[in-house]
Amino acid sequence: MASIQLKNVVKKYGKGKAELQVIHGVNADIANHEFIVIVGPSGCGKSTLLRMVAGLEEISGGEIWIGDRVVNNLEPAERDIAMVFQNYALYPHMTVFDNMAYGLKIKKVPIDEIKVRVDKAAGILELGHLLERKPRQLSGGQRQRVAMGRAIVRQPQVFLFDEPLSNLDAKLRAQTRLEIQKLHRELGITSLFVTHDQVEAMTLAQRMIVMNAGVMEQFGTPEEVYTRPATTFVASFIGSPPMNLIKNAPGGKPGTILGIRPEHLDITSYGWELKVETSEMLGAERLIYGRLGDEMIIVRTDENHTPPAPGTTINVTPRSDRLHAFDAATGKRIPGA
């Protein structure tokens, strides 16, 4: 197990006028045993960053450290990492046992040790009763556990997960998230996990890197990212529904975007006047959509509130201790706000 350091990491494609920079100077210190999630929308560079750590993409600038080694020029096999991909990449003609053991056999690990490692991993992932089955006889969730088991038996310093849950349905995703959390508690191996799903990011991460167009917008705990987003992008990307970002809030300052999360707006007999457009019932909560002037605002209430009819006007009051302020020109959080 090892720490990871990203020092001004840059990735460019092409040369001259055709040059395209896709990763813009990422810096991050990841401690030994940490579980870090890299999250962002499609095309933001999160998988490219992970692949550079793995050695599957060349680095254009900066340094990547794994433990006490700079690994920029090391081949993937020399980096002591194990990767779990979106597609399970299992050999269809091999049993679960053989799929998990294959990498160790290639390295000529003794058969007795291979059996011990595979049995231990199978026990952790509850695969013991499936070791003689072929991949076609497994569910999607079971195949993903086999892919994780294949990584575990290698006993690497670092786990790299590239959107490993995206092929699973919602129920299996939730179940597999729990299994990954349990796996990390038991093994404690330093992990980088890439996803575009903010729920996965918030539930799995000890800390998270939020990426946008190749830039690391924020690096912090899920609580820090949610309660004190560093930019308007983070504020709008993390949270469902997203934070309300209001350019022309009543009483607001020129050049400032005011942020307030939907759950921090209270329906009152005074305050901002909101013209209701529609509402959604989501089980134990309600989302009310309305317009504050020409800006759309979302208010979250609980099931005890009867939703107002479309076309009516209600008053809402933001909780003063939950307001956020961002510079309209840069999108960055205003210090002290």
Q: What are the E-state strand segments in the chain?
A: 4-13, 20-30, 35-39, 61-66, 69-70, 81-84, 158-162, 190-195, 207-212, 215-220, 244-246, 256-260, 265-268, 272-282, 285-292, 295-302, 313-318, 324-327
Q: Show Cβ contacts of residue 254 under 8 Å, excluding neighbours closer than 6 positions.
A: none
Do residues 202 and 190 lie in contact, with contact meaning Cβ atoms separated by under 8 Å? no
The alpha carbon of residue 58 and the mean position of all alpha carbons in its chain are separated, in whole angstroms, by 23
pTM exceeds 0.75:
yes
Kindly tell me if the per-residue pLDDT of 179 is higher than 90. Answer: no
Give me the pLDDT at residue 253, please: 82
What is the chain's percent helix, strand, coil content, to nearest 5?
30, 35, 35
Architecture of domain 4-233: 3-Layer(aba) Sandwich (3.40)
Per CATH, the homologous superfamily of domain 242-327 is: Nucleic acid-binding proteins (2.40.50.140)
What's the pLDDT tens digit per position in 136-161? 999 888 888 899 899 989 889 999 99
- Bond from prior residue into 241 cis (ω within 30 degrees of 0): yes
pLDDT digits (tens, 9 = 90+) for 235-287: 999 998 999 999 988 877 888 999 999 999 999 988 999 999 999 988 889 99
The candidate with the shortest Cα–Cα distance to 266, out of 296, 225, 302, is 302
Tokens of 36: 């870090």
Q: Do residues 297 and 265 lie in contact, with contact meaning Cβ atoms separated by under 8 Å?
A: yes
Q: Is the pLDDT of residue 292 over 90?
A: yes
Q: What is the pLDDT of residue 191?
A: 95
Instruction: Give the SS3 label for residue 284.
Output: coil
Kindly indicate the confidence band of residue 15, based on its pLDDT and cuts at 50, 70 and 90.
confident
1: buried, middle or exposed (CB in 10 Å: 19+, 13-18, 0-12)?
Answer: middle
Percent of all residues in the chain with a pLDDT value above 90, rounded to a whole number: 73
pLDDT at residue number 126: 86
The whole-number pLDDT of residue 182 equals 87
Average pLDDT of the chain, as a whole number: 92
Backbone angles phi and psi of 67, in degrees to 5: 65, -130
Residue spans per domain, the chain: 4-233, 242-327
pLDDT range class, residue 20, cuts 50, 70, 90: very high
The pLDDT assigned to 337 comes to 62
Q: What are phi and psi of 137, to 5 degrees?
A: -95, 10
Average pLDDT of span 280-307: 91
Q: Is the pLDDT of residue 113 over 90?
A: yes
* Tokens coding 202: 């918030």
pLDDT value for 280: 92
Which residue matches tokens 């510079």?
327
- Residues 164-175: tens digit of each pLDDT: 888 888 888 888
Which pair of structure tokens corresponds to residue 305? 């509130």
| Cα–Cα distance measured from residue 258 to residue 240, given in angstroms and rounded to the nearest whole number | 18
Q: Which helix (H) or strand (E) holds 120?
A: helix 111-124
Kindly tell me if the per-residue pLDDT of 101 is higher than 70.
Answer: yes
Comparing 37-51, 78-92, 311-325, the range with the smallest average pLDDT is 78-92
